[in-house]
Structure 1
Amino acid sequence: MSYPVSLGDDARGNITRLDNAIDNFAERIADAENALQNLEQQKQAAEVEVAKPFAQEEELAEKSARLAELNALLNIDRDRSSSQDTPEESEETEAPATRPSVLAALVEKTNQPEPVKPFRSYYDKDSDAR
C-alpha cells in the first residue's frame, strides 16, 4: 500500500511529516481492525437471519397455488371464447380478442419523434406588433 505525504522544501519539515505519517499507522491499524470486527458481527447477524425460517411461507404457498388456479381459469376462458366465435360475431365486432397492450402503446409512442416546435424569442413579439 502507499501512504502519500506532501513534502516541502525544508528537509527537517519533510522528516517531521514522514514521522507523523508513520505515527498515524497505529491509528489506521486500529480503525481497520474495528471495521473488520464490525463486518464480522454483521456477517454473523446475517447468517442467523438466513437460518431463520420464512414466517409467511405457508401463506405464500397457498397464494401461489391460488394464483396458478386463477391463471389456468383465465387461459381456459380465453381458449373457449376464441374457439366458440362464429363468423357472424367476428364480422360484427372487429375488435381483437385480446385486450390492447399498454406497454405496446408506450413503446410505439416513444419510437415516434416529437414534432419540432418553431422557436419564438422575445424579439419576435416586437416584429409581430409592427
Structure 2
Amino acid sequence: MVSIYTLYVVNKSGGLIYSRDFTSVAKVDLNDALRLASIWHSMHAISSQLSPVPGCTGVELLEADTFTLHCFQTLTGTKFLLVVEPNTPYVPALLQRIYEVYSDYVLKNPFYEVEQVIKCELFDEHLELAVRRHNV
C-alpha cells in the first residue's frame, strides 16, 4: 500500500532544507523540488495576504488527479509539505507526528543550526518509522 510519496521541509525564507521520497513512484529531482518549495512558499504567502477570511495562514491543501499536497506551517514559518495519494486518510495527524519528530531530533540537536539543511540520522529513522506506521 503506497500512500505517502514525498516530504519537503521549507524554511521561513522559502529554502528547501529537507526532501525525502518514500516511494519510487514519486522520484523528483532536486531542481524540481527546489522550484516546488519556492513556488509553494510564494503562493502560501500571497494567499494569506489576499484571503478574505480573517486569520488565514495560507494554502494548506492542493488537490490534483494523481496526488494531494498538504502543508503544515509551524509558528516559526517552517513548512512541512507532504505529497500523498488522493484520499489518503489522517494526513493532518501524520504531519503533526512528523513535526514532533522534527522537534525531538532536529531542533533539540545541539549541532543543528536553525533554517539550515537537515542532516540528522535519528530524524531520518524516526520519520521512516512514522510513515511506515501510517501506511499500515
For Structure 1 versus Structure 2, the TM-score category normalised by the shorter chain is under 0.3
How high is the TM-score relative to the length of structure 1? 0.23
Greater relative contact order, per chain length (Cα 8 Å cut-off, separation 6+): 2
Larger C-alpha radius of gyration, 1 or 2? 1
